[in-house]
Chains A and B, each alone.
Chain A
Amino acid sequence: MKPAKPAARYQHSRIQWLQSPILWLSIAAVGLLSALLWLLLTFGPVVAVEAKYQYRRLFSTVFTGDGSLRSLFIPNISVDIRGFNATNTENGIVIPAIYLDEPVIYNVNPNDSESYLAALRQGIAHASSTAFPDTGGIGYYFAHSSAPEFRSQFNAVFYLLGKLEPGDEIFIWHQGERFEYQVTQSVEVDPEDTYFLQQEYATETIVLQTCWPPGTTLQRKLVFAERVYQ
């Protein structure tokens, strides 16, 4: 019998190598673990925020007294965080419609990713050189919709921005003073689209920004809100 040619031998050994269950088990383990890790890091906070939102929504619907017979037996518990019992009353933001009550870090440089990523670990960032509340002009606030770091709730603090509708209230605290705004519109734009920062606004306006859709940096969701003067 003739010995096999070297090339054929190589081909044969490669096929044998590909037939190894250990190899495929390793690939499966590495692939699935990576995917699991990605799911956990990226969508873990998102799922947590969504679940918390749905729970509070359900809770506020069920346990708000409406004068019915049921409310005689079930205690009236209202989950109203219209800014009157907010926790961040020095520098913070409250959006009752999505049960958001978080601190705001003012004067964060939006051109410096190192500084704004550090700020986003503590709360919602206010872009430097944009207006503070009560000074006119436009104030620009941004936060994560999802982040690849499993650290705190700030990983997905603006994930729920997509649920805001025109008319929803937003309360912002700056140096202990509260300012009220009302959502006017919500748009999705390209990341390079910064037209709204150059525009003039007749009424003091804020813009809340986050990446969209969650889990990507493809687009930016912008929620515009106008100042409501009491």
Chain B
Amino acid sequence: MPGRKASPIITISMTQKFIRFFTALITTFVVLGAFASTASARMTYGNGEYTNLCGSGTSATHNTCGGYCNTFDGSCSYPKASVVRYICDGRQTECRSNESDFSLRQSVSGVGCGKTVQIDVFNTQCRDGNDWICDDNDLVDYMVWYSGDCSNDRPNPGNDENDQTCSAYEPVNTQFRKSGENTWISGDDMSSKNIAIGDTVDVNCFAKNGADLLPGAKIEITKPDNSTETKHTSVLRNYEVKDFGSYRFRCYSTTIDACSNTDSFRVRREQAGEEHRSSCQDLILREGNLGTVPATVKFEVEGTDNLGDIQRYRVYYGDGTKEENESGEFSHTYESSGNFTARADVKDSKGNWISSNACESTVSIKARSIESHKSKCSDLFILSGNREESPSTVQFKVTGYDNKGAIQKYKLDFGNGVVKESDGETFEQLYNQPGTYTVKGYIRDSQGNWQGGDGTCTSTVYIETEPLTKQPDTGTPTGLTIFGITSGIIGTVGLLRYRALRA
């Protein structure tokens, strides 16, 4: 990111600007200080708390200034590289030490304990060489955050919770980190943290998107052997991981009735060399198959994941519609008779959609005595080879239905100039060049009409190129510009000299 390093050498005029700027700032703080001091320190991020939000103390509503600071994730962003961060020791309400480079985004994270971080957002780059060129009119947003005492104690929440209903504290949010690390995560799988036996972890039990600790919080820990342990705290520190397997932390309140909106997540330590294995196991037709149109069919999808839970399930019903949910149980009404190829996939614990031929079933719906002809290309599936480096062989499957007979042929336009026809549903194509290819599938129905080539029967194949490490050069080489300017200077000097000699 662009940005000029601040220099300790400051000119007199710049110092005067600074003094005026700070005077204005401090005045703002003094005027609003009384108001701020009466408010409880409730704005928090991570393990710390905000001590000043845009001059109006911790009682400020989120983003009341320019809207460029996000107190939920502790960062400020601006379209220009004009965001700067300062770090001071101790708990402060303002801070002007250790100025960072100006950049597009700055975050309060990664400073360690016992530090105050101030992030200022200006509407322009304030450093012109060594000079400071901004004044308070250029300051569009800022926030000051204290990272917390090094004793790991977290400031208590405010005691003005009059509203003791669950809805006043939603959403409850469980935060987690490996002890000693600065970054907190929530609602996530910790597998990537490589937690080993003997490591310790920290857990926070927040409400209101991290703006408050959950009153009366308990943290219930479910260990790999399914035994549970409950801690009567909202801030669990240095909890030791003693066994292999999955740990689950659940955050809930004992003082607020019916507050069931809790988050939970896993802490996992993978066995050395253990690979992630996930698959779609089965697509079961529970009931309604072989019914008469319109027929409602119930499906159940089964999937496995050795490192976590299946996040979502998705079913393509074979008539051009699809649906996804978290339970894996589906119900769908078919409005046409015929044979439909239903296929399912699952989203594993790492967020990948996985499918297999085991998750495919044929749904047969019987016709009524009178029914018009209906046929359609239902789906185009990419079975393998997508998003791989070239050359890559990609496998496809085209499905469709026809209520008056069998599908005669299948056709695939691979998007690279190759079109193939086949009696079968599956196709294979080798892509030699990296690129993005739009693939279109077609079926020829019992009456000889080609259907498809749009909607659910199109898909995009990405054949990867090597990762882009530098954006393309789309301008005049800077060296040529330097050469041009230098030539002009030399030419001018030559001309002047020539005239002088002639004279």
Q: Tell me the A residues contacting B by CB distance below 8 Å.
A: 19-21, 24-35, 37-39, 41-42, 106-107, 109-111, 113, 116, 120, 125-132, 135, 142-148, 158, 175, 185-194, 197, 209-212, 214-220
Contact = CB atoms under 8 A, between A and B. Distances in A.
Contact of B497 (A24, A32, A187, A214): A24
B150 to A, nearest CB: 33
B478 A218 contact: yes
B488 A31 contact: yes
Contacts of B466: 111
Q: Which of B79, B471, B478, B502 has the most CB of A within 10 A?
A: B471
Contact of B468 (A110, A143, A216): A110
A31 B79 contact: no
Given A25-B498, A109-B434, A110-B465, A209 B491 contact: no
Interface string B474-503: 111110110111011111111101100110
Contacts of B104: 187, 189
B265 to A, nearest CB: 20
Contact of A32 (B438, B472, B474, B495): B495
11 contacts: A25-B498, A29-B494, A31-B492, A113-B472, A128-B436, A129-B436, A135-B438, A191-B473, A209-B472, A209-B474, A218-B478
Contacts of A30: 487, 491
Nearest to B487: A34
B490 A27 contact: yes
Contacts, number: 187
B481 A29 contact: no
Nearest to A20: B501
A217 B465 contact: no
Interface string B344-361: 000000000000000000
A19 B500 CA distance: 10
Contacts of A35: 484-485, 487-488, 491
Interface in B157-198: none
B81 A188 contact: yes
Given A38-B484, A191-B470, A217 B478 contact: yes
B462 A31 contact: no
Interface in B435-486: 435-438, 460, 462-478, 480-481, 483-485
Contacts of B489: 31
6 smallest CB-CB distances across A and B, nearest first, come from A31-B491, A211-B475, A38-B484, A35-B488, A28-B494, A32-B491
Contacts of A109: 433-435, 465
Nearest to A125: B472
A217 B470 CA distance: 12
A16 B490 CA distance: 20
A35 B484 CA distance: 5
Contacts of B476: 41-42, 146-148, 211, 214-217
Interface in B331-378: none
B2 interface: yes
Contacts of A110: 465, 468, 471-472
A26 B474 CA distance: 34
A211 B483 CA distance: 18
A104 B437 CA distance: 15
A42 B481 contact: yes
B1 interface: yes
B498 A38 contact: no
Contacts of A129: 434-436, 462-465
A143 B465 contact: no
A185 B471 contact: no
A116 B491 CA distance: 35
Contact of B501 (A19, A37, A116, A130): A19
Contacts of B437: 107
A166 to B, nearest CB: 8
For the complex, would chain A's binding face be called helix, strand, loop or mixed by DSSP majority?
A: mixed
Contact of A144 (B1, B475, B488): B475
B471 A194 contact: yes
Given A33-B491, A128-B463, A135-B460, 15 more contacts: A21-B498, A27-B490, A28-B495, A29-B494, A31-B494, A32-B487, A32-B492, A35-B491, A38-B481, A38-B488, A113-B472, A143-B474, A144-B474, A194-B467, A194-B471
A117 B286 CA distance: 58
Contacts of A116: 472
Contacts of B460: 131-132, 135
A42 B491 contact: no
A189 B480 CA distance: 21
B192 to A, nearest CB: 16
Contacts of B497: 24, 27-28
A119 B460 CA distance: 22
A73 to B, nearest CB: 43
Contacts of B435: 107, 109, 128-129
B436 A131 contact: yes
A185 B79 contact: yes
B471 A21 contact: no
A13 B490 CA distance: 23
A20 B494 CA distance: 11
Contacts of B79: 185-187
Contacts of A191: 470-471, 473
Q: Which of A33, A209, A216 has the most CB of B within 10 A?
A: A216
B475 A215 contact: yes
B196 to A, nearest CB: 29
A211 B475 CA distance: 5
A146 B476 CA distance: 6
A106 B436 contact: yes
Contact of A148 (B1, B480, B495, B498): B480
A132 B459 CA distance: 11
A64 to B, nearest CB: 30
Nearest to B104: A187
B474 A158 contact: yes
Nearest to B460: A135
Contact of A192 (B462, B469, B484, B494): B469
Contacts of B2: 188-190, 219
A19 B502 CA distance: 10
B438 A132 contact: yes
Contacts of B80: 187
Contacts of B484: 34-35, 37-39, 42
Interface string B69-83: 000000000011100
B480 A42 contact: yes
Nearest to A30: B491
Contacts of A214: 475-476
